[in-house]
């Protein structure tokens, strides 16, 4: 009986295993068929939308939308929308909204792709190529309070070129002009002019926005102002900027561009803080840190003239950490003599190393577009499309010396893999009604570690080393409770975002529930997950 029983048991077990395998194959097939049917259904529904532009499912297009300047994160979208009108964007977002919370489809607006950590990507969703947006031509308006109307997909360099035809220019810039208007206004837009005019978001008069429900809304300080301030610095969470009205000022023709060196950090910061409040001083003030770059001064000779060539040639850094103060004074040709006198007067009050003053004169557009010149050189050497593990921090003035002692003294060993910017800005030039978070002090510093990683390197120029260095810097800031805020921030959890926004978190969350209640927009920021139920 036993001999008969065991073969029978084995046979039943084999039948059960075979049944389970068949069932799993059938289940997976059903899921695949359903998924493919669902994807086909979504593709069909998108292609059926009444738009002037087009949805691209081309693999190359999807690959391009899945990468950015940071060159570290890749999230492939389902499709890329190339809009020709604002209506194209509104119709698309409204369609995704109409699918309701059961759909996982999300939407990301992508400008020039200069994000660092996938912020403009949408995994399995729709990426909108904002540079395809064709609205009215850039329109410049003169008068006592001049302004320009532009598309959210226009590059700032194109805005500059157009406004210069009328002798005008925007007041505030970023260091790199080949970025879209909507992209920088979604963050803040900071450069060496921010001490005087504030960031770019402090120089906006009006915007047209497509909200997370597909509604097209005009907003300004007086019209729909809650949306206006939400979107400025809002990381794309509340709406897509399709048009913007930007303040202008008379544009200069020339720029006197100066660099001086310091070995004393206290003198360096004291002079910077003095200059940002000085009358008729400089129009642009930035600084950067130099470590183990003994040949840098000689490299400057290619573009800058030392005031005293003999003394400059004798200058030795001796391995010290140096701090460069970079200044610019705008002028027109007929003002040259007067401007030279003003520059000399202000320089005479500074405490830089006297043998290290370098200066040159360039056109206004060449000065503003200076980073693009470097980009062209780096592209020719294949050094542009590499990982860029940047770290940008706002640091309270009261903590900047502690930060410098530890970070520049112990953590950062060299600056050969990219510049480290450091300069002060006035809190009074920032509007606290916007979504940006900044330190709670009258003066705070932007410190930007703008490293480029060499993929094949395992040393100080390698990606892992730079990321480890960034981590040590952030851990130090948190451990010492310096009150630092990240700019172009990136966090992994909503709890970290909540800490980042601090007292602003509740209003940030409430604004999200009003303007993008299904969390359709800007999923790459990682702040909200789609279909989260928001409390009002």
Length of the chain: 536
Active site residue 286: yes
Q: Which of 95, 114, 346, 490 is catalytic?
A: 114
Residues paired with 254 in a beta bridge: 331, 363
Q: Which residues contact 243 (CB under 8 A, 6 or more apart)?
A: 86, 135, 149, 150, 151, 152, 207, 208
* Contacts of 314-322 spanning 24+ positions with Cβ under 8 A: 314/355, 315/261, 315/353, 315/355, 315/356, 317/290, 317/293, 319/292, 319/294, 320/263, 321/263, 321/265, 321/289, 321/290, 321/291, 321/408, 321/409, 322/261, 322/262, 322/263, 322/289, 322/290, 322/291, 322/293
Contact between residue 39 and residue 47 where contact means Cβ atoms under 8 Å apart: no
Active site residue 197: no
Q: Is 346 helix (H, G, I), strand (E, B) or coil?
A: helix
Q: Which residues contact 196 (CB under 8 A, 6 or more apart)?
A: 276, 283, 429
Active site residue 401: no
Burial code (b: 16+ CB inside 10 Å, e: under 16) for 420-452 equals bbbbbbbbebbbeebbbbbbeeebbbbbbbbbb
Q: Of 140, 176, 141, which Cα lies nearest the Cα of 155? A: 176
Q: Which of 68, 149, 162, 286 is catalytic?
A: 286
Q: Which of 104, 175, 226, 375 is catalytic?
A: 175
**What tokens appear for 452 in the block?**
């480029």
Rounded to whole angstroms, how far apart are CA atoms 329 and 513? 45
Contact between residue 387 and residue 256 where contact means Cβ atoms under 8 Å apart: no
- Residue 355 φ/ψ, nearest 5 degrees: -80, 0
Rounded to whole angstroms, how far apart are CA atoms 211 and 213? 5
CB atoms within 10 A of CB 141: 13
Helices (H), 165-302: 181-185, 194-197, 225-231, 265-275, 296-300
Q: Which residues are catalytic?
A: 114, 175, 286
């Amino acid at each position: 009986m036993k001999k008969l029983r065991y073969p029978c048991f084995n046979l039943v077990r084999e039948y059960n295993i075979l049944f389970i395998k068949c069932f799993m194959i059938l289940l997976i097939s059903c899921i695949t068929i359903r998924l493919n049917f669902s994807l086909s259904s979504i593709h069909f529904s998108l292609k059926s939308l009444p738009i002037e532009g087009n949805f691209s499912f081309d693999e190359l297009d999807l690959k391009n939308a899945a990468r950015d300047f940071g060159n570290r994160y890749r999230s492939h979208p389902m499709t890329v929308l190339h809009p020709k009108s604002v209506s194209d964007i509104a119709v698309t977002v409204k369609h995704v909204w109409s699918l309701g919370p059961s759909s996982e489809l999300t939407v990301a607006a992508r400008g020039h792709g200069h994000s660092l950590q996938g912020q403009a990507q949408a995994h399995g969703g729709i990426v909108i190529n904002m540079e395809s947006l064709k609205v009215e031509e850039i329109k410049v308006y003169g008068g006592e309070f001049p302004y320009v109307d532009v598309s959210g997909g226009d590059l700032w360099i194109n805005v500059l070129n157009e406004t210069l035809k009328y002798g005008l220019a925007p007041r505030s810039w970023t260091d790199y002009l080949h970025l879209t208007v909507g992209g920088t206004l979604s963050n803040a837009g900071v450069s060496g002019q921010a001490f005087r005019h504030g960031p770019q978001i402090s120089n906006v008069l009006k915007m047209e926005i497509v909200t997370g429900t597909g509604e097209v809304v005009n907003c300004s300080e007086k019209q729909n102002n809650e949306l206006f301030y939400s979107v400025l610095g809002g990381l794309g969470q509340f709406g897509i900027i399709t048009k913007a009205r930007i303040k202008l000022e008379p544009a200069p023709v020339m720029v006197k561009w100066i660099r001086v060196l310091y070995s004393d950090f206290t003198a360096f910061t004291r002079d910077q803080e003095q200059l940002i409040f000085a009358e008729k001083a400089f129009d642009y003030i930035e600084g950067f840190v130099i470590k183990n770059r003994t040949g840098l001064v000689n490299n400057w000779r290619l573009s800058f003239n030392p005031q005293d060539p003999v003394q400059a040639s004798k200058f030795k850094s001796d391995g010290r950490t140096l701090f460069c103060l970079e200044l610019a004074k705008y002028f027109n040709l007929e003002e040259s003599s007067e401007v030279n006198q003003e520059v000399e007067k202000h320089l005479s009050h500074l405490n830089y190393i006297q043998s290290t003053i370098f200066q040159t004169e360039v056109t206004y557009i060449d000065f503003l577009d200076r980073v693009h010149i470097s980009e062209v050189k780096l592209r020719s050497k294949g050094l542009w499309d590499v990982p860029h593990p940047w770290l940008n921090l706002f640091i309270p003035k009261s903590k900047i010396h502690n930060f410098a002692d530890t970070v520049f003294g112990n953590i950062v060993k060299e600056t050969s893999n990219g510049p480290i910017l450091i300069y002060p800005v006035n809190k009074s030039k920032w509007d606290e009604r916007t979504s940006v978070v900044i330190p709670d002090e009258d003066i705070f510093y932007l410190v930007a570690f703008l490293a480029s990683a060499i993929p094949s390197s395992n040393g100080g120029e390698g990606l892992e080393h730079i990321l480890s260095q960034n981590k040590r810097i952030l851990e130090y800031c948190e451990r010492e409770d310096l009150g630092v805020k990240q700019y172009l921030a990136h966090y992994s959890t909503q709890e970290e975002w909540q800490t980042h926004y601090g007292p602003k978190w509740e209003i940030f969350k409430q604004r999200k529930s009003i303007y993008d209640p299904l969390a359709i927009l800007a999923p790459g920021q990682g702040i909200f997950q789609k279909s989260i139920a928001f409390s009002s």
